Structures are given as C-alpha cells and as structure tokens.
Amino acid sequence: VILARTQAHVLTLTLNRPDKLNAANDELLLTLTRELQAADANPDVRVVVLTGAGRGFCAGQDLGDVSGRDMTFTEHLHHTYNPLIRTIRGLGKPVISAVNGVAAGAGASLALAGDIRLWAASASLIEVFSNIALIPDSGSTWTLPRLVGYHRAFELMALAERVRAEDALRLGLCEHVFADDTFAADVQAYAERLAQRPAHALKLTKQALVAALTSGLDEALDQEAALQQLAGDHWEHEEGVSAFKAKRAPQFIRE
Ligand code: LHQ
C-alpha cells in the first residue's frame, strides 16, 4: 500500500491504491506512519516526499472500508489519522506533500500537513467531508484557517468546492505548481536541493516554527534563544561560517 524509494537522501513514500485514488484504509495509514517514524531515525534520509500513485493524491478515508468496523469514529481517528498527522508535524526532517492529483477529505488534510506543498498543475483539493455530513478531520480545522483565515476555511468546508492549482497557489495552500508531465522529476530536483541544506538547522527551524504557531511572542523568543544555542554548537554552523569566509559553497552533507 506504500511504496518507498530513497534517492540522493530523498525518501519518496507513494500511497499506492491507485484504483481508489489512494483512498486510505487502516493498513495504509499505519504503514505510512511507521515508514515516517523509520525515516526519522534513518540518517541517510534528509527529506521525505509524500505522493500518490496514478491520477490521485489521496481521496481520504476508503468509504468501502468503514461499515461494520468495531471502532467508533473517535477511536478510529486516535488510532490512525491523528498519529499520522502528529508524526508528520513532529518529524525532524522536512516533509514535502507532492500533490500529484486530487486530494480529498483526509487526503486534503495530508496535502496541507507537509512542511512544503508542491502541486502538479492538474492537482486539486476538496474539503469533501460535508458531502457525507462529517466534519473536517486529520488537522484540517487547525491548518486551513491558519492558511486562509476562518471565513474562507468555513466556506471551503461548507460547500466542498474543488480548489484548483492556480487558486491553491493564490490562497497559500501550496508553494509551487509544476507541469504534470515533469512533476515527479521537478519534485525530486526540488527535494534534492532541500536535502543539501543543513539538516540539523532545519530540524530546529521546524521545531521552533511548529511551537511558535501556538505560542505568544515571549515564548517564541525564549524558544529561539534556546534552540539557537543547539544550532550554534553544531558543526553545521562552523561549516557555514568557514564556507562564507573562504567564499566557497558550504558542504552540509557528511557521508
Ligand atoms: C473511492 C474513494 C473513497 C473509496 C474515490 N473511498 N473509493 C475519517 C475517519 C472515519 C471515517 C470517515 O472519514 C474520515 C476522513 C475522511 O477522509 S472523510 C472523506 C472521505 N472521502 C470522500 O468522501 C471522497 C469520495 N470521493 C470523491 O468525492 C471523488 O472520488 C473525488 C472527488 C475524490 C474524485 O472524483 P473523480 O475524479 O470523479 O473520481 P471517481 O469518483 O470516479 O473515483 C475513481 C475511483 O476511486 C472510483 O472507483 P470506480 O471503481 O468507480 O472506478 C471511486 O469509487 C474510487 N474512490 N474516492 N474515498
């Protein structure tokens, strides 16, 4: 259900249920979470890319896989989706959501959960939950209003309208849009560029940003002061400064 491939320090995890637009079942969600946790512990992996096989990114919960389950909705979310979203947010490496096609429901939440969101020109996002009279989950209620504000988030959720790439870029739901036919290569090139950056400093940057999203300025300043010490004490900092002085490119990858 998940394909894993590492190339040039970039781990690509591909949701692989293309016949169902990569709709998620428990196996997919738990496997993906496990793969991400393993990536966090693997020093060879510097960047993680999440993408989908076929023409979809992820159509959210597999609606053929919910009837008759012995878990409540609450238990189901605590068991599968919530650990996945927490793992992405807590991962000490950049996670790229490479949205190759439609991202709907919890798939939309996954598309928004990455640290960087790269979209194919034909990709789209739908907060589809209200079509089946559910509420947005897997972090959408937290992420989306922070990106587009309360009112636009509410409208997108209430009407379940499809957001296409051009509008996603305008609304801040993605950082870049690449052509469909070069999408995988463009994502890999982007990810490899990111993999050259100082991994330890990026880990701390993510930690500081994630914390600051829910803190006040005073706490953010204290957090920066504490984490800057960890960055400054690391060899990456020494390398960056030496490279600057020697007028050469820094080398942040030590094999
Ligand atoms: C699917 C699905 C799908 C199964 C397409 N399941 N087969 C959390 C916790 C607990 C419970 C519930 O939910 C959640 C979180 C959630 O994610 S709720 C939201 C669940 N997702 C949806 O409601 C989306 C349903 N899908 C759609 O609205 C459309 O398929 C979209 C807009 C994603 C794409 O439309 P099209 O491009 O027109 O494709 P399609 O509808 O023809 O789908 C292609 C195939 O994929 C089709 O199968 P078939 O055998 O007819 O070719 C669909 O049945 C299947 N598929 N989504 N979620």
Q: What whole-number distance in Å separates Cα of residue 64 and Cα of residue 23?
A: 9
* Tens digits of residue pLDDT in 81-120: 999 999 999 999 999 999 999 999 999 999 999 999 999 9
20: CA distance to ligand 1 center in Å? 7
Residue among 43, 11, 44, 15 at smallest CA distance from 191: 11
CB 195 within 8 A of CB 10: yes
* Tens digits of residue pLDDT in 112-132: 999 999 999 999 999 999 999
Task: Please report, to the nearest 10 degrees, the dihedral formed by the alpha carbons of residues 214, 216, 217, 219 taken in order.
Answer: -90
Q: Which two tokens stand for residue 149?
A: 């504000």
What's the pLDDT band for 70 if we cut at 50, 70, 90?
A: confident
Please tell me the predicted confidence (pLDDT) of residue 67.
65
Q: What are phi and psi of 93, to 5 degrees?
A: -140, 150
Q: Give the mean model confidence (pLDDT) for residues 142-166.
A: 98
Please provide the distance, in angstroms rounded to a whole number, between the alpha carbons at the two ends of the chain.
31
Percentage of residues of the chain with pLDDT beyond 70: 99
Q: Which two tokens stand for residue 158?
A: 């209430």
123 torsion bin: left (phi>0), alpha (psi -120 to 50), beta (else): beta
Please report the domains of the chain, with CATH numbers, ordered by start residue. 2-195 (3.90.226.10), 199-245 (1.10.12.10)
For ligand 1, atom 19, name the residue with the nearest CA: 105
Give the chain's mean pLDDT: 97
60: CA distance to ligand 1 center in Å? 7
- ipTM for the complex shown: 0.98
For ligand 1, atom 56, name the residue with the nearest CA: 20
For ligand 1, atom 57, name the residue with the nearest CA: 59
* Tens digits of residue pLDDT in 186-242: 999 999 999 999 999 999 999 999 999 999 999 999 999 999 999 999 999 999 999
Ligand 1 pocket, CB under 6 A: 20-21, 23, 59-64, 66, 73, 76-77, 81, 102, 104-106, 126, 128-129, 131-132, 134, 137
* Tens digits of residue pLDDT in 7-37: 999 999 999 999 999 999 999 999 999 999 9
